Chains A and B, each alone.
Chain A
Amino acid sequence: MGFLDINNVTKSYGAVEVLHKVDIQVEEGEFLVLVGPSGCGKSTLLNMIAGLEGISSGEIAIKDRVVNNVTPSKRNIAMVFQSYALYPNMTVGQNITFGLEMQGTPKAERDKAMAEVASLLQIENLLARKPGQLSGGQRQRVAMGRALVRDPDVFLFDEPLSNLDAKLRVDMRTEIKKLHQKLGTTIVYVTHDQIEAMTLSTRIAVMYDGYVQQLGTPKEIYDTPANIFVATFMGSPAMNVLPAKLVEMNGAIHAEVGSGDGEKHLRIENAPEAYRSYIGKSVMLGIRPEAITDPEGADRNSRNIQALTNMVGVTEPAGADTFVTMELAGKDCVARMRADAEAHPGQPFEFAVNMDKAVLFDPQTEERIA
């Protein structure tokens, strides 16, 4: 049993099931991120943990106590909302202590708790102001203060950074991570931003269409995505997924990309046993942009760098890197190069493909072959 148990939980609205048998165990101190495109059910799941939405079947337990029929305030959780949801008619101080006041905590204790949280978040000078007089970043802090002051078992964050501008978002992201490391609290965090998910989490649940597609550490999710959806959703730019065919040449398995004259063969070393049954069949070959580089920029620790000469389509310098698009097997394929790589549009270029990082998917089920 974990600290927060989500056991076979489903959610239906009438006859429509929007969340299908979700099963997640969260350990104490874990930072779980629920990530997925809008409408995937991640916010619904969070609201169900919070008690703001009913549970159609299955059960949710916090610290081994089933909370299906427990009201939100009795679950010992705190939530930070996307819009911050600060009470506009109350000062910052009143906002922070409202929850304690509702629980009947004496004033002296409330003030002490408020002072602690205010100094932790460095908002002491804002306590007498109204939310309307605060900037976005300050509101965000107050919203976190309101959650922290209650010392809950589980923190729930519902896209807390999506209302901030890009720079502030990165700053607050770091701050949330620092806070988690410092306090060691258990957090469930909903976002649609895969970078937030990767940077913040200890584990990620990628959701799509009401299903948890994959649950794992950021590294597992990134390196061994369970299916094509997870592969393309996580990572920016998205993973290149190309139609290919597995062939056996000279005793080694190769991925044959393209057809006719333009076909190219990429050798796969240490192929899992499962690949054998796909020999002669078509597969989907997934390669992350950073696994396709210029030869000088290739990963020196990799044992299987394959050269591939192809026409350069478009180059997009992004400062630190240059993204190079080429056409492979009828699809645009993005490569991530050093900033000063000598790739020029319309000219042939020798790409270095790190086949150690390549993954294969079944074209029918879209599941990873392993």
Chain B
Amino acid sequence: MAVASSDTAIRSSNVTRTFIYLFLLLFALFYLMPLVIMVLNSLKPLSEITSGGMIAMPREWTIEPWLSAWSTAQIGVEPTGLRPYFINSIAMAVPAVAISTVAGALNGYVLTKWHFRGATWIFGLLLFSCFIPFQIVLIPMARILGLLEIAGTTYGLILVHVVYGIGFSTLYFRNYYAAFPTELVRAAQIDGAGFFQIFWRIMLPSSGPIIAVCCIWQFTNIWNDFLFGASFASGDAAPMTVALNNLVNSSTGERPYNVHFAGAIMAAGPTLLVYIVAGRYFVRGLMAGSVKG
């Protein structure tokens, strides 16, 4: 009797399991469809797309659209391809992510381990900056960049993104360090370590997960930003997102959809890569501090 009933239990759980996986598969297909279409169309000649074969497999495989998007396509008035703008975006995102992460870590460290009057207020104000809509700051920011004489440059964009990023990165690190044992800081103080020595030698080496979270978050936001890029760095200093827009808008005559698709994948590539490489830390880091262990 017992054997039979446990047998039924296994069988019914198998049925459930099959349904669950079918369901998941369906959703995965649904979400992956656009990417699949993009990849397929970026690998076929334009004639195959214009003749109505958008969903079909390429009859003739070619990497020509990719080469064109990368180095010869018309962006605005220059036939430079996306390459210089890709480099612009890297030159913007990497320092901006690094600076805002380090600044956030320092802020979190000071706010949690070096109590001072008004710390909660300062944290509140920093947090508030996370919720200020981008559009509000456009004009004052343009003025400031002008005064600093970095308007229209990559440095200007770095500054804008660092300023906007510090709110979030401080939030992440403050919450992470709030759960970090203060006794460790005190022990290091007695051992004679100074403010920065404690930060570099004790705090940062234990911050792996939250650094990953912060970098993913910042990189995704900064890389994908269009508004600041379009407002403060048009022309040669434009980031990838703006260049992609220009690529799509500046072709004359027949629209080279295959090149557009290739360019779009290039623009999305780095954020995808960051998620794949560091994504497993993301959930782990977000959960850190909320539960024990």
Contacts and interface: CB of A to CB of B under 8 A. Distances in A.
A102 B186 CA distance: 14
Contacts of B205: 89
Contact of A102 (B181, B183, B193, B206): B193
A85 interface: yes
Contact of B188 (A74, A82, A98, A103): A98
A87 B188 contact: yes
Contact of B202 (A51, A89, A99): A89
B202 A87 contact: yes
B189 A99 contact: no
Contacts of A103: 192
A77 interface: yes
A77 B189 CA distance: 11
B202 A79 contact: no
A102 B192 contact: yes
B189 A98 contact: no
A83 interface: yes
A82 B192 CA distance: 19
A50 B190 CA distance: 8
Contacts of A73: 189-193
A89 B198 CA distance: 12
B247 to A, nearest CB: 46
A146 B190 CA distance: 11
A52 B181 contact: no
A78 interface: yes
B250 interface: no
Contact of B181 (A50, A77, A85): A85
Interface in A54-88: 71-74, 77-79, 81-83, 85, 87-88
Interface in B175-226: 181, 183-184, 186-193, 197, 201-202, 205-206
Nearest to A150: B191
A73 B194 CA distance: 10
Contacts of A71: 189
Interface size bracket, B side: 10 to 19
A51 B188 CA distance: 13
B186 A52 contact: yes
Interface in A244-269: none
Interface in B70-104: none
A79 B197 contact: no
A114 to B, nearest CB: 14
B192 A85 contact: no
A52 B188 CA distance: 11
Contacts of A88: 184, 206
A81 B188 CA distance: 12
Contacts of B183: 81-83, 85
Contact of B191 (A51, A89, A102): A102
Given A87-B202, A89-B202, A89-B206, A81 B186 contact: yes
A89 B205 CA distance: 6
A98 B188 CA distance: 8
Contacts of A82: 183
Given A79-B187, A85-B186, A89-B205, A99 B192 contact: yes
B210 to A, nearest CB: 14
A83 B193 CA distance: 19
B109 to A, nearest CB: 15
Given A87-B202, A88-B206, A98 B193 contact: yes
Nearest to A89: B205
Contacts of B197: 102
Residue among A71, A74, A83, A85 facing the most chain B CB atoms (10 A cut-off): A85
Contacts of A83: 181, 183
Interface in B110-166: none
A72 B189 contact: yes
Interface string A26-57: 00000000000000000000000011100000
Interface string A86-121: 011100000000110011000000000000000000
Looking at A51, A79, A146, the one whose CB has the most chain B CB atoms below 10 A away is A79
Contacts of B188: 87, 98
Contacts of A99: 190-192
B190 A79 contact: yes
11 contacts: A50-B186, A72-B186, A73-B189, A73-B190, A73-B193, A77-B190, A82-B183, A87-B184, A87-B202, A89-B202, A99-B191
Given A81-B187, A85-B183, A87-B202, 14 more contacts: A52-B186, A74-B192, A77-B190, A81-B183, A81-B186, A85-B181, A87-B187, A89-B202, A89-B205, A98-B188, A98-B193, A102-B192, A103-B192, A146-B191
Q: Which 5 A-B residue pairings sit nearest by Cβ, starting from the closest?
A: A73-B192, A99-B191, A102-B192, A89-B205, A85-B187
